[in-house]
């Protein structure tokens, strides 16, 4: 599964061109105070994870939905077929009590 981060595009469509502008909107509209470095990272890099509260704040600040901020490729992944594995039976131990474990003493 591939995810494409589209924050820059969503921001540009709303005439938000810099991290400083986005940071100001997050504070004013969503009440989220992020460091300049955090906003810059969101704006310029594809994050490996985003808190739901941050995602909600971005949607509030930019007046958009999560669909505007990222795109998910849901194309099924094709995996090579694995050869069938032989099923082997484990010998039962006579002291195992018919396959059940004993409770701790």
List pLDDT tens digits, range 21-54: 999 999 999 999 999 999 999 888 888 889 999 9
Strand pairing report for 70-73 and 2-5: antiparallel
pTM metric for this prediction = 0.68
What is the domain partition of the chain in residue ranges? 2-73
- Spatial contact of 73 and 4, defined as CB atoms under 8 Å apart: yes
- 2-73: which CATH topology? 434 Repressor (Amino-terminal Domain) (1.10.260)
List 81's β-bridge partners, or say none. none
Quick one: which of 8, 10, 4 has its CA closest to 60? Answer: 10
């Amino acid at each position: 599964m591939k995810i494409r981060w589209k924050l820059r595009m969503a921001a540009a469509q709303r005439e938000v061109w810099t991290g400083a502008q986005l940071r100001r909107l997050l504070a004013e509209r969503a009440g989220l105070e992020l460091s300049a470095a955090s906003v810059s990272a969101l704006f310029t890099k594809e994050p490996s994870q985003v808190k739901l509260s941050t995602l909600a704040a971005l949607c509030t600040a930019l007046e958009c939905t999560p669909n505007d901020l990222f795109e998910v490729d849901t194309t099924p992944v094709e995996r090579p077929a694995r050869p069938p594995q032989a099923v082997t039976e484990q010998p039962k131990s006579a002291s195992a009590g018919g396959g059940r474990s004993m409770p701790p003493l």
